[in-house]
């Protein structure tokens, strides 16, 4: 089996992404759109939804989808807040094959912090072939 390489993906978190995610998810917590309220809760300002950061991981997986893999499991830990305007690097820190499964260790790193914003793992399986 040839090694699987997942090139890092970089995205800058915008206000529009946060608003669109709120509309799609129903997460209208004011800390995601109202600076004054966010600061009343001790935050430095408006922050992105953690699940938005997790959802953007999907762009990292495109090479696997193109090779016929499907995502079967994903588990993440939110380690720090993400502010609007932060540039995040989505990367696979390790990809290993185990039987038919691919296990991928994940990291979402802000270019403004030493600690990852999100870490976790995902498991992929080859898409089952249709029998004829």
2 domain residue, yes or no: no
Query: Is-contact 15 106, C-beta < 8 A?
Result: no
> What is the predicted pLDDT for the residue at 60?
96
CATH code, domain with 108:
3.10.129.10
Cα gap 21→127, rounded to integer Å:
28
43 domain residue, yes or no: yes
106 domain residue, yes or no: yes
92 domain residue, yes or no: yes
Query: Is-contact 40 10, C-beta < 8 A?
Result: no
Which residue range is the domain that position 33 belongs to? Answer: 10-126
> What is the predicted pLDDT for the residue at 1?
57
Cα gap 98→129, rounded to integer Å:
19
pLDDT above 90 for 131: no
Kindly report the average pLDDT of the chain as a whole number.
92
132 domain residue, yes or no: no
1 domain residue, yes or no: no
pLDDT tens figures, 31-62: 999 999 999 999 999 999 999 999 999 999 99
79 domain residue, yes or no: yes
pLDDT tens figures, 9-39: 999 999 999 999 999 999 999 999 999 999 9
Retrieve residue 130's tokens: 């249709």
Q: How many domains does the chain have?
A: 1
Q: What is the CA radius of gyration of the chain?
A: 17
pTM: 0.86
30 domain residue, yes or no: yes
């Amino acid at each position: 089996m040839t090694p699987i390489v997942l090139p890092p993906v970089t995205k800058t978190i915008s206000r529009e992404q946060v608003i669109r995610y709120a509309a799609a998810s129903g997460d209208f917590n004011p800390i995601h759109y109202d600076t004054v309220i966010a600061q009343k809760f001790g935050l430095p300002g408006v922050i992105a939804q953690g699940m938005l950061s997790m959802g953007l991981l999907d762009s990292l997986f495109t090479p696997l989808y193109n090779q016929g893999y499907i995502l079967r499991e994903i588990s993440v830990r939110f380690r720090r807040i993400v502010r609007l305007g932060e540039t995040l690097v989505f990367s696979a820190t390790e990809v290993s094959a185990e039987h038919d499964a691919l296990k991928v260790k994940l990291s979402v790193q802000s270019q403004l912090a030493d600690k990852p914003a999100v870490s976790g793992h995902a498991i992929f399986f080859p898409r089952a072939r249709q029998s004829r």
